[in-house]
Structure 1
Amino acid sequence: MSRMRELSRITLDPSVMGGKACIRGLRVTVGTVIGLLAAGRTREEILKAYPYLEPEDIDQALAYAAWRVDEREADRSDA
């Protein structure tokens, strides 16, 4: 959980998007940003489509996704 403290732009609020990880409390989930990147959208295209996002938001969405994958892999190795 210490890694999550470093990700100040990622918020988890049960009243926003059902508690999914969001960018700065906005109704844009980390999953949306990662999905757009996975679909081949560039950072510039994402920032144009969501003008209230900032480049650091994309960086932190990627860092959060990587952290979650590491957490899940650690959970599996403990089983």
Structure 2
Amino acid sequence: MDAQELQTQLLALPISEKTEILQVLIQNLTNSGTGIIKKPGVVGGDACIAGTRIPVWDLVEYRRMGASDLKILEAYPQLTATDLYHAWVYADAFPDEINAAIEANEAAYMIASYADEQFPLPVVTRLRAKSYDVLTVLDAGNANQANRLK
């Protein structure tokens, strides 16, 4: 079977089967020579630079904050320019995955930052926008007051 025949057969498949095939191909590509790995239990299963626990989303976020590749390599001396190239290619191929990981880690950081306190309104607003159920200081006070009146 040549590539043209394969393409014709793939295009004729229902979307559910195309999705399964795509997942198999992505898994194969991300684990075979691209310099990026995804393993359950390693950094939450996020895509990482092979041989490290450095997630691609972390490098992308660092770059978005204005860091150059040189600055990133200085901050992560175990990485090479090739590692960064692989990270950028992966991030370009899977932007939704990378953005979701950045958002999840940002929310986790905000929650951890206020672990023993009530959340200030700006933090509550950002977390609620991400569908987290959190209370403002006023909400918590009102809830406590309502419980005392029962």
Shift of residue 13, structure 1, vs aligned partner: 0.7
Distance in 2 (alpha carbons) for counterparts of 1:40 and 1:69: 18
Does structure 1 conserve the Cα–Cα contact (< 8 Å) formed by 2:73 and 2:79? yes
- The aligned counterpart of 1:22 is 48
Asked if 1:51 is matched to 2:85, the reply is no
- The aligned counterpart of 1:63 is 89
Asked if 1:12 is matched to 2:16, the reply is no
- The aligned counterpart of 1:33 is 59
Secondary structure of 2:37 counterpart? strand
- What's the % identity of the aligned pairs? 33
Shift of residue 50, structure 1, vs aligned partner: 0.5
Shift of residue 23, structure 1, vs aligned partner: 0.3
Unaligned runs of 5+ in 1: 71-79
Greater RCO between the two (CA within 8 Å, min separation 6)?
A: 1
Work out the number of aligned pairs and report it. Answer: 71
Higher strand content, 1 or 2: 1
Does structure 1 conserve the Cα–Cα contact (< 8 Å) formed by 2:31 and 2:37? no
Shift of residue 36, structure 1, vs aligned partner: 0.8
Query: Structure 1 segments of 4 or more deviating over 2 A?
Result: 1-7
Shift of residue 6, structure 1, vs aligned partner: 6.7
- The aligned counterpart of 2:116 is none
Which of these two proteins has the greater Rg computed from alpha carbons? 2
Higher helix content, 1 or 2: 2
Unaligned runs of 5+ in 2: 1-25, 97-150
